[in-house]
Chains A and B, each alone.
Chain A
Amino acid sequence: MSEQEWPLYEVFIRSKSGLSHRHAGSIHAADDQMALDHARDTYTRRSEGVSIWVVRSSQIVASDPAETASFFEPAEDKIYRHPTFYEIPEGVENL
């Protein structure tokens, strides 16, 4: 076993057509193709998906937890931005 670990990849899976990809977890792989294979073998064994995206974790730009206050809190008291005045039609599961 090599002492150097394979890079980490984040896995996103679309569970059925029409839905968006959702984060499923992460895997290690030596290259992009292997990452797709590993994602398939790790996260879609029970037919969870119809499409897989993988991306190097190091390529993801994330918000800084230390800035949570200035980043997110200003939105909290602006209820007029929430679409709470609509009624969701019956039978619509994924809006």
Chain B
Amino acid sequence: MNSNDSLMAYVLRLADNALILGQRMVELVAAYPELEEELANANFALDYLGQARMYYSYAGDLEGMGRSEDDFAFLRDENEYRNFLLLEQPNGHFGDSITKLVLFESYYLLQLEALVRCSDTRVAEIAARAEKEIRYHLRHNTQWLVRLGDGTEESHDRAQGSVDALWRFTGELFAPDEVDNVFEAEFDGPDLFRIREQWQKNVAAVLQEATLEMPEDHWMASGGKEGRHTEHFGFMIAEMQYLQRAHPGATW
């Protein structure tokens, strides 16, 4: 794999992660229990969609075939998406959504901090902007996980259930493959082993504050980075892609 292919594959993963998580959050718009949290969720979802656009646009430039952001987002098939399985999991209850965000954003923030220092200027610039957004998201969502875990008996039990259920999707975040390795070597990219160490420390501290147990690492699901998705994914992108598929080229 040459360095341009690796860069494009890496950027596309960043884009797919942002898009798929953003889409999941969009599903919750107008379904939140409190107006203020509703706004926060919608703001956060828009942050992700904004990041996805910047990544897709760069991926299109790298590819040089004239594909637009919309082509990447709406006109690819299921097995062409490279997002983490964690992010496509259904929203479930509020605790599930918050836990998913805390687990992912604890990783994503560390990834962005490393990307700001990578040698590809455009990735570094996008990362610098995204880092500020995600730092705030993580602070907000962490506070929620602490409130839920350290709240009532019911909220504690449900939050623990969310952590236990989603834990098996966290292994994939730290399993480097060729794309990660080439990107790290050629572009001074993130070192996933170091990120994993820091992630475990940070997440352990949050869980402790939330009086939640950190699950042990057993079997970990993987495949998202190669385009093998869980059963929820097809339904999700069917809804997401419906408009562009039914009315090709439709614009606002």
Contact = CB atoms under 8 A, between A and B. Distances in A.
B147 A41 contact: no
Contacts of A34: 143
A34 B144 CA distance: 9
A41 B35 CA distance: 11
A25 B143 CA distance: 24
Contacts of B35: 28
Contacts of A42: 36, 39
Nearest to A43: B39
B36 A33 contact: no
Nearest to B35: A28
Contacts of A45: 39, 43
A41 B33 contact: no
B140 interface: yes
Contacts, number: 26
Given A1-B33, A28-B34, A38 B40 contact: yes
A6 interface: yes
A50 interface: no
A37 interface: yes
Contact of A29 (B33, B36, B39): B36
B143 A41 contact: no
B181 to A, nearest CB: 38
From A1, A6, A38, name the one whose CB has the most chain B CB atoms within 10 angstroms: A38
A27 B38 CA distance: 12
Contacts of B39: 38, 41-42, 45
Interface string B16-43: 0000000000000000011111011001
B140 A37 contact: yes
B143 A37 contact: yes
A32 B33 CA distance: 19
A42 B35 CA distance: 9
A29 B35 CA distance: 10
Contacts of A27: 36
Nearest to B143: A33
Contacts of A41: 36, 39-40, 43
Interface string B91-103: 0000000000000
Contacts of B40: 37-38, 41
Nearest to B32: A1
A28 B36 contact: yes
A34 B33 CA distance: 15
A34 B151 CA distance: 15
A1 B140 CA distance: 20
Interface string A21-59: 000000111100110011001100100000000000000
15 contacts: A1-B33, A29-B36, A30-B147, A34-B143, A37-B40, A37-B140, A38-B37, A38-B39, A38-B40, A41-B36, A41-B39, A42-B36, A42-B39, A45-B39, A45-B43
